[in-house]
Amino acid sequence: MLPLRTRIFAFLQQRLMKSPLTAEEMIALRAQREGFRTGPITALLFGRPADVETKETYVDGRRYAVYTPRGLNGPAPVVINFHGGGWCLGTPEQSAWVSSHVAARTGSIVVAPTYRLAPEHPFPAAVEDAWAAVEWVAKHAADLGGDPGRISVMGDSAGGNLATVVALMARDAGGPAIESQVLIYPAVEMYEKFPSEAANANGPVLTSTQMSTFSHLYMGSSYGDESWQASPLRATSHADLPPTLIITALHDPIRDHGTRYAEALRAAGTEVTLVDYDTAFHGFMSLPGVAPAAKKALAGIAEFLRSLPR
């Protein structure tokens, strides 16, 4: 069962925030969500960022938030963290709690890039921007205080989709080398509905109807395109990918996306750890104030990243 605080949050969210069904409603929701995120109860819901150095840099018009541990000694690992939001919503700041605490707990520099959002910029714009971020980090890691040979990718939901895609792209391109990937309730299949979507059709934060809206707006005129750049579960091969941590939530419509991706990785011989949180829901890592499982999952992410060979 979901914790009481989670059920209260879900109840209020359903009544205060209208689910967008059109492109215009989706665009309007961005401002509403950002106002909600920066409101007076921000820290209670979204958690307090860790005490790290935070700065911004701009690359070809895209803003990158950079979280650097204080007292850094020597080149540090770099984690590129792609935010969620159904490819239509979100900013790096909605993942600031995760990004900053991963930086503080692992001694890694976390780079959280923006990417162009649908419906104004449909597929493959987000993929292009995510790949550009990987290339830029690989080229400029040393300038940030990082090690270009120790780059990991991380992302939640739509950001998890982008992390899986760029890991596949890096493998096929022969680099940049990706040390690991952390996939938090990733969306890896654009069209097929798995059993978890029926079981959690009206789950907190994400519903089956909303997932369909996100998919249609993200794909735009390319809806129906079955390429793995949209649905990485459909890649011809999942071999030769880096060690992977996949986090899923029992009450998430797309829980089975993570489970199926873990199965595909294991079948291809890729090292994968799958952790499911039975009191969690889609988006819980961005809402530690209403999801007790978020702190436990954060500890698991930090442990996974620290365990990588150095």
Give me the active site residues, please.
Answer: 157, 252, 282
249 Cβ contact list (under 8 Å, min separation 6): 185, 255, 276, 277, 280, 281, 282, 284, 293
User: What does the alpha-carbon distance between residue 38 and residue 291 come to, in Å, rounded to a whole number?
Assistant: 19
Please count the CA atoms within 13 angstroms of the CA of 142 that sit on its side-chain side: 2
What span, in angstroms and rounded, lies between the C-alpha atoms of 172 and 300? 29
Give the whole-angstrom CA distance, residue 169 versus residue 232. 10
Residues in a beta bridge with 56: 65
CA distance 160 to 109: 19
Report whether 95 contacts 81 (CB < 8 A). yes
**Which residues, 6 or more positions from 65, have their beta carbon under 8 angstroms from its beta carbon?**
54, 55, 56, 92, 93, 96, 99, 111, 112, 113
Give me the sign of the Cα torsion angle 117, 120, 123, 124. Answer: negative
The CA distances from residue 110 to 32, 96, 245, 250, 277, in Å, are: 27, 10, 17, 28, 24
